[in-house]
Amino acid sequence: MVTNNTKSRCALRTSSLDFKSLNESGGWAFVTNGTDQLGHKYGLASWLTIPPDLIELQPNQTKPVKITVDNRSDLSPGGHYAAVLFKAANVTQGGRLG
């Protein structure tokens, strides 16, 4: 579920990224480079389906976001990690998305 807790209409773009641990400190980092992402054996982002690409919310509106992990034959057993991101899309003064 995603909620717009503001008094204005908003739009969010969805995406996903793999992440990995930095070292023994407990920190983590997003894997953003395409080459690194393909080589990251614990990545999950390429198996995620996150429709729709754009979510529009009225003030105080809540909408469900269905995230599916595609159980394809190339998804190996074990732990895999990804983050689902929501980024604000521009809304022009006329109320259109930019």
Task: Please work out, in degrees rounded to the nearest 5, the angle formed at the alpha carbon of residue 4 by the alpha carbons of 6 and 84.
Answer: 135
What's the pLDDT tens digit per position in 44-87?
A: 888 899 987 889 999 999 999 999 999 888 888 888 888 899 99
Of all residues in the chain, what percent are helix, strand and coil, respectively (each to 5)?
Answer: 10, 40, 50
Domains in the chain, please, with CATH?
Answer: 2-88 (2.60.40)
Looking at residue 35, what is its pLDDT?
47
Alpha carbons 4 and 56: distance in angstroms, whole number? 9
Q: What is the model's pLDDT at position 30? A: 73
pLDDT of residue 37: 45
Contact present, 11 and 89 (Cβ < 8 Å): yes
What proportion of the chain, given as a percentage, has pLDDT over 70? 80
What pLDDT does 31 receive?
Answer: 75
pLDDT of amino acid 57 = 94
